[in-house]
Structure 1
């Protein structure tokens, strides 16, 4: 029997060097405590608390995670730890206070003197514009342009492509690890729940610390998620990777959406509506093609995405910041689901259609591939991914084509298309028609694009600069609730109800009923004011 080669001396030297570097990085802040205390005006007590926090976090992590490598293997744990260590270094390099809020040196007691002017770098603001407050200095800086908008949209695309990359692999995972459709929908749903929690906790953070630090952190965590998924050897590791993906995506969505609107309000709003569909569809189809025709189907797509995230991280580090920092970072991470009073009407008008169209996306992302294969009688992974791809890409095209339509009209068109698509799916399942299923999917894509862009354009252009990430996070909470809850219920119905076809019929009736209720809600609400979408920064 052929035995695997044992690790040699280099394999021993590498972990030893990692221990040295990790502990060196732990000690690196020590000589800086005095300078930080002078710059940020904290006491010796704060210094000991900062040091003590690290010493408490280490044993806590040892208790919670110390045995993880005995089950997942050493490499995934070490790679994840390296990514988190890099993330910590990014946070340190961006730090401007003990809790993320900007502080300034006060005059000593008894020595009067004016407080130094606050230096604000806001690339989204004209350098010739006079300061808005006394004592504030606005300095010229590079303004983010079209390149920044393209970069930000590409990150949305890659994050949502990564989120849909496992979709064509669910059947492969189910065969390898022998789990049921309920497990498939739980794996799908746990991602959406992690996104929701991250949106609630981290959604407003970039309004205070800036967009770039949040995006760099999210890219680091997304890279760690790809490492976990690449090395997954069971449903538990798959769930862990999906949770990391959800935390990363939820933490980034508000910052990405806000940054795109910071750069260009009109094009940024359109990009907010179009990029998610492009990413979701591209990820599903690309993953399906790689699974079908490329080697290492459960590894290659994740490794390619790691390369993309690393390149995007470098680009974000070089990108100009799009918003000035402001105090309140610690309060911003307290979970809160609030909308400014002036925006509650538009958000209430948009929420039902956003929930409905994302509920449809949740079905195609979880059970759609299995339904496509069952109706066609084919085991092709690409065919299974085609439905999700078609929904997302048609939805993105509809977003662009219908972009000049009034937002309320867009939502009404979306409702109508959802009813048509749901009815068409019912007929396709009854007739076992593959053509009917994909035709209904295309119609559903039009409904998704029209409804989603109508809802986004009802809300996004009205949001003030330092509220954008928070409001967009609240909007995405509605979307991901729609995406997760109905899909998990559908998975339960597949196993404990009448099977996949019966669950699809129930889900189609649910979508039709949801569309009708959305129409009633939209007609009862006062029409929101038309939102302008001019390409002005800020």
Structure 2
């Protein structure tokens, strides 16, 4: 029992480190309006700056998605924290748009190193028999950290001095504490190899994972795409269409989506992994419908409801997807398979978000948002139909 308690403490501490790193990736969200005023760039540029982060994540996952399987979890996670510091430094030194691109790229490299490695690490730190609970700790740390970023930055930007500097100073302090905690945690990879053994990987899946990966990947793509739009353009919509210029409110609306995702993940324990994916798809569809209503009628209440309902749907779908894929993966390829799932998820953050930015010029933010919603609704409906028709394969 004492051993189990110790391992759970290590598991939660690993989750806290995971959350701190992910908070840095969404920290600039409520600050984009201030950067637009300072540097004079368009809404399309906002989406491109945001998407550079996703490209960094995908690049790391493809080039070094199995790095932690080879050299160990801790070295990879320490490198991720190093890139988080580099990102904060870029934002602190920003005197032009290039600094923002560099900051987002470093942030993407940080998240790319953390996503698969930290998820696997948190699960491995837990005692035997605690896989389900540890999966929740990992996914909650991921989404909870993403939610804390805009909330922290929004509150500091609205009510404290140095709105474009203090959030990053605070985050660097948290990263330093996290690095100390990480050094004190045990390594979970027993057979480590030299760094030279890390090889670029094409997205690929073991045969036993393929049957469950399709609907899991689609639901993850749509959920992250919804979060991508909330994170990149919702502050502009709140300001331009709803006259909400309070940075703390903008940060809170975005944070609600991520916190609701954590609640959705917690609900998986009650509804079951098999039912969480179809229920999550239904929640995502409802969240998209509410967002369409918010864009059509300019209602803040619908924006908030969309964040909550869509967030719960994303949490149900993503934890179900992650649990199903992880359970089907062989242990020696688990981190790389999880990284492949994250490649699809982060493609959802980049491609649709840039599409919204491109369409904003000719048809406006409302029209671009409605096109995005229609495309995502088709995708999530396809996944739901697959799950309902072939539940036995999806739950294998």
Q: Which residue is equivalent to 1:174?
A: 36
Per-residue deviation at 1:306? 0.8
1:222 lines up with 2:88 in the alignment: no
Match of 1:353 among 216, 219, 222: 219
More divergent stretch after superposition (213-222 vs 455-464): 455-464
Q: Name whichever of 205-214 and 272-281 sits farther off.
A: 272-281
Residue matched to 1:510: 375
Structure 1 distance, partners of 2:71, 2:10, is 18
Please state whether the residue corresponding to 2:175 is helix, strand or coil. Answer: helix
Unaligned runs of 5+ in 2: none
Q: CA deviation at 1:530?
A: 5.0
Q: Residue 417 of structure 1: which of 275, 283, 288 is its match?
A: 283
| CA distance in structure 2 between the partners assigned to 1:326 and 1:144 by the alignment | 24
Select the residue among 418, 429, 451 that pairs with 2:295: 429
Q: Find the counterpart in structure 2 of residue 321 from structure 1.
A: 187
Distance change (3 Å), C-alpha of 1:422 and 1:455:
same
Partner of 2:238: 372
Name the residue aligned to 1:406. Answer: 272
Q: Measure the CA separation in 1 of the matches of 2:290 and 2:77.
A: 41
Q: What is the aligned counterpart of 1:253 among 112, 115, 121?
A: 115
Equivalent positions of 1:38-57 (< 5 A) are none
1:490 and 1:253 map into 2 onto residues whose CA distance is 25
Closer, same or farther in 2 for the Cα pair 1:443/1:142, shift >3 Å? closer
Q: Which has the higher contact order (CA 8 A, sep 6+)?
A: 2
Alignment deviations for residues 369-392 of structure 1 (CA, whole Å, 9 cap, x no partner): 111223422211122222211111
1:196 matched residue in structure 2 = 58
* Structure 2 Cα separation of the partners of residues 361 and 143 of structure 1: 35
C-alpha distance in structure 2 between counterparts of 1:254 and 1:419, whole Å: 27
Deviation at 1:355, TM superposition (A): 0.8
How big is each residue's C-alpha offset from its partner over 1:11-58, in whole Å with a ceiling of 9 and x where there is no partner? xxxxxxxxxxxxxxxxxxxxxxxxxxxxxxxxxxxxxxxxxxxxxxxx
Q: Cα distance 1:143–1:439, how it changes in 2: closer, same or farther (>3 A)? A: closer
CA distance in 1, matches of 2:198, 2:388: 35
Distance 2:160 2:73 in 1: 37
**Residue 358 of structure 1: how far off its partner (Å):** 0.8
Higher-Rg structure is 1
CA–CA distance in structure 1, aligned partners of residues 294 and 107 of structure 2: 34
Aligned match of 2:17 in 155, 170, 192? 155
TM-score, structure 2 length as denominator? 0.93
1:514-538 Cα shifts (integer Å, max 9, x gaps): 221222333455634758xxxxxxx
Q: Distance in 2 between matches of 1:302 and 1:333?
A: 33
Superposed CA deviations along residues 294-316 of structure 1, whole A, max 9, x for unmatched, are 11111111111111111111111
Shift in alpha-carbon separation, 1:460–1:404, aligned structure 2, 3 A = farther
Say whether the 8 Å CA contact 2:123–2:134 is kept in structure 1: yes
Deviation at 1:329, TM superposition (A): 4.6
Aligned to 1:520: 385
CA deviation vs aligned residue, 1:403-457 (integer Å, no higher than 9, x gap): 2323231111111122222222222222221112212221111111111111112
Compare the two structures and name the one with the higher helix fraction. Answer: 2
TM-score (norm 1): 0.69
- Aligned partner of 1:311 among 155, 169, 177: 177
1:479 aligns with 2:349: no
What aligned pairs does 1:438-453 form with structure 2 within 5 A after superposition?
438-453=304-319
Output the CA distance in 2 between the equivalents of 1:242 and 1:528.
38
Q: CA deviation at 1:144?
A: 6.7
Cα separation, 1, equivalents of 2:383 and 2:43: 29
Give the whole-Å Cα distance in 2 for the aligned partners of 1:167 and 1:354.
21
Aligned length: 390
Any idea what the Cα deviations from partners look like across 1:283-336, whole Å, max 9, x if unmatched? Answer: 111111111111111111111111111111111112111121244753433233
1:21-32 mapped onto 2 (5 Å cutoff): none
CA contact (8 A) 2:208 2:328 kept: no
1:267 aligned partner: 133
Q: Which deviations, in whole Å up to 9, do the C-alpha atoms of 1:87-138 show, x marking residues without a partner?
A: xxxxxxxxxxxxxxxxxxxxxxxxxxxxxxxxxxxxxxxxxxxxxxxxxxxx
SS at match of 1:402: helix
Distance 1:527 1:171 in 2: 47
